[in-house]
């Protein structure tokens, strides 16, 4: 689990399939985070966002199988 304050300033997601946009759109709607979207990636910016946003918990609530649809590139829990 990511500890509070352990979230990076940006979250970089790679879209793995057609379900990715649905999940990422809902993440943006629920959190109000600004994002930049490309063909195969989306970057969410935490700059200026409230400190209590737990993006991983939101992803779990949106779709427990979110890792099948998007990959969090800068996940501090992901082994290299």
Domain range enclosing 62: 10-72
d(CA 26, CA 24): 5
Tell me the mean pLDDT in the region 12-31.
96
Q: What is the predicted pLDDT for the residue at 76? A: 55
pLDDT digits (tens, 9 = 90+) for 27-78: 999 999 999 998 899 999 887 666 678 889 999 999 999 999 999 998 656 5
Q: What is the predicted pLDDT for the residue at 37? A: 93
Q: How many CA atoms within 13 Å lie on the side-chain side of 7?
A: 19
Residue 77 lies in a domain: no
Domains: count for the chain: 1
Of the chain, the end-to-end C-alpha distance in Å amounts to 17
Of 10 and 7, the structure prediction assigns the larger pLDDT to: 10
Of 3 and 27, the structure prediction assigns the larger pLDDT to: 27
Residue 9 makes CB contacts below 8 A (sequence gap 6+) with 45, 46, 47
Please check whether residue 26 is in contact with residue 62, taking contact to mean a CB–CB distance below 8 angstroms.
Answer: yes
3-state secondary structure of 38: coil
The model carries a pTM of: 0.80
């Amino acid at each position: 689990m990511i500890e509070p304050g352990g979230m990076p300033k940006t979250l970089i997601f790679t879209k793995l399939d057609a379900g990715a946009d649905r999940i990422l759109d809902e993440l943006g709607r629920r959190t109000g985070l600004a994002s930049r979207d490309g063909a195969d990636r989306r970057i969410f910016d935490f700059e200026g966002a409230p400190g209590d946003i737990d993006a991983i918990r939101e992803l779990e609530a949106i779709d427990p199988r979110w890792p099948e649809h998007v990959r969090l590139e800068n996940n501090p829990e992901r082994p290299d």
